[in-house]
């Protein structure tokens, strides 16, 4: 933990976050642009799904970051509760909004993909329903963290909620295994994939690009939250002077 606590000082954190934010953001945007070009122009259509298969270049990274975002909230919440790391609560609140946005993008692109593939925009399928619940859990966290902050809370309630929400992650991951589901099973594994490499190769570029963009947005939001806290502290000092 000494290395982690080295960044507990907001000034030290900001000295790194300020130059890193544009690097991550623009590098992520560049990779996304390259990945979109490759996915739209350099790969063949699927022999069954045709051109609609190209939505996987958005859908898969959105699903990854929707779930990964909540994992990061849980880790930040544990860090805050156990070690009282002063920036952990800020990190969790900064992650929540982009995490919710990517969960929503996952649902929207999945619905668009499902219409020509399944013949319906929505199905109360195990994977779809559990992802929808995760999106609502995100909204609950955002509202709870804001309300706790406005009432002068110490952040512990939101942190406990952040940890409790992780129960949805294994449900989302294994829903296609546990239940007879309309959603296809896992197409991409660590050692093999059911998707042909001629279609799959732009996906890691998109995953890397969206992950870097996500990290840049989180750093941007952390800087904003720290600036707001600093401004509020100044106003309170002036009010009591």
Model confidence pLDDT, tens digit, residues 132-156: 999 999 999 999 999 998 898 888 9
Q: Other CB atoms closer than 10 Å to residue 95's CB: what's the count? A: 29
Quickly tell me which residue has 């976050």 as its tokens. 17
pLDDT in tens, 81-116: 998 888 999 999 999 999 999 999 999 999 998 888
pLDDT of residue 86: 80
- The phi, psi pair for 50, rounded to 5°, reads 70, -140
> Please, which pLDDT band fits residue 46 given cuts at 50, 70 and 90?
confident
pLDDT of residue 180: 67
Exposure of 9 in the CB half-sphere (CA atoms within 13 A): 7
> Please, which pLDDT band fits residue 124 given cuts at 50, 70 and 90?
confident
Least confident piece of the model among 100-104, 182-186, 227-231: 182-186
pLDDT in tens, 188-199: 655 566 677 889
pLDDT of residue 123: 83
Exposure of 240 in the CB half-sphere (CA atoms within 13 A): 5
Candidate ranges 132-146, 176-190, 192-206, 224-238; pick with highest mean pLDDT: 132-146
> Please, which pLDDT band fits residue 122 given cuts at 50, 70 and 90?
confident
Quick check: 6 pLDDT over 60? Answer: no
| Overall pTM > 0.95 | no
Quick check: 1 pLDDT over 50? Answer: no
CA dihedral of residues 193, 199, 205, 206 (deg, nearest 10): -100
Phi-psi region of 9 (alpha: psi -120 to 50; beta: other; left: phi over 0): beta
């Amino acid at each position: 933990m000494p290395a982690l606590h080295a960044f507990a000082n907001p000034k030290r954190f900001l000295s790194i976050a300020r130059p890193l934010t544009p690097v991550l953001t623009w590098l992520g945007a560049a990779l996304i642009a390259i990945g979109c070009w490759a996915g739209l122009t350099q790969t063949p259509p699927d022999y069954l799904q045709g051109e609609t298969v190209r939505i996987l270049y958005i859908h898969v990274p959105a699903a990854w970051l929707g779930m990964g975002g909540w994992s990061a909230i849980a880790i930040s919440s544990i860090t805050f509760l156990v070690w009282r790391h002063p920036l952990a609560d800020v990190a969790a609140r900064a992650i929540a909004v982009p995490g919710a946005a990517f969960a929503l993008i996952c649902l929207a692109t999945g619905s668009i993909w499902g219409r020509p593939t399944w013949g319906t925009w929505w199905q109360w399928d195990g994977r779809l329903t559990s992802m929808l619940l995760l999106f609502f859990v995100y909204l609950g966290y955002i509202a709870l963290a804001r309300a706790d902050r406005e009432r002068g809370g110490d952040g512990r309630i939101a942190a406990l909620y952040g940890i409790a929400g992780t129960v949805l992650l294994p449900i989302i991951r294994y829903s296609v295994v546990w239940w007879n589901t309309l959603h296809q099973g896992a197409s991409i594994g660590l050692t093999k994939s059911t998707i042909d490499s001629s279609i799959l190769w732009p996906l890691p570029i998109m995953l890397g690009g969206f992950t870097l963009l996500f990290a840049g947005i989180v750093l941007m939001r952390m800087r904003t939250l720290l600036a707001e806290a600093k401004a509020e502290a100044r106003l309170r000092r002036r009010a009591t002077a």
